[in-house]
Amino acid sequence: MAAKLSANALIELAKNRRSYYALSKNLPIPTSRITELVNQTTLESPSSFNSQTNRVVVLYGAEHDKLWDITSDALRAIVPAEAWEATANRVAGFKNAAGTVLFYVDNTTIQTFQGKFAIYADRFEPWAVQSAAIQQYLLWTALEAEGLGANLQHYNPLIDEKVAETWKIPSTWTLNAQLVFGAKEGEAGPKTYVPLEERVKVYGA
């Protein structure tokens, strides 16, 4: 029987999860612990029909740096000269972090389930993206709980081809997001909320 847990602890973790952009490579925990969290969130993130479409690549150290060099080169080719300095500084901030988790969805698995459940064929792609988002949030929150900072980026599809070539990514995997993580070297920005009255409706309580 599973141990009884309080939802309040989960809500507190959710409150603490923020976007941190000032990050460094001075990790407060070993990379083995981060890899463990990646593995556990991969296993425990739900998916429609238990399709398990999430795929993950973790980059540490020089491999992480290489990713952001690839991103910088790709952006330099399309960003106007007058905007390049700000873009370069932003990418340099990501490179200053300790690592990046690349989140993918597996199209072969999606196609398999589309064939098995044809009535839902047009839903499996968005369901796969939802499952990826669940893992991104879960891992992000877990890293926060371990004292790390992180931010979520979306440089796909701009970097997809070079990333696939560099790390031998299967052609059936589609890149969805990049979670940058490291030691916190600054504070998160202020967080504002749209009133709940505009966002939540309750009936019958």
Task: Average the pLDDT over 18-35 and give the result.
Answer: 98
Question: Distance between CA 84 and CA 66 in Å, rounded?
Answer: 19
In percent, the amount of the chain with pLDDT more than 70 equals 99
Domain edges within the chain: 21-186
- Average model confidence (pLDDT) across the chain: 97
Q: Is residue 111 predicted with pLDDT exceeding 90? A: yes
Q: What pLDDT sits at residue 176?
A: 99
Picking from 4-8, 150-154, 173-177, which range would have the lowest pLDDT averaged per residue?
4-8
Q: Is the pLDDT of residue 195 over 70?
A: yes
> Maximum CA pair distance of the chain?
61
How many CA within 13 A on the CB side of residue 202? Answer: 3
Using the predicted structure, report yes or no on whether residue 3 has a pLDDT greater than 90. no
Q: What is the pLDDT of residues 115-171, one digit of tens each?
A: 999 999 999 999 999 999 999 999 999 999 999 999 999 999 999 999 999 999 999
Instruction: Report the pLDDT value the prediction gives residue 6, as an integer from 0 to 100.
Output: 87
Architecture of the structural domain at 21-186: 3-Layer(aba) Sandwich (3.40)
pLDDT of the residue at 4? 76
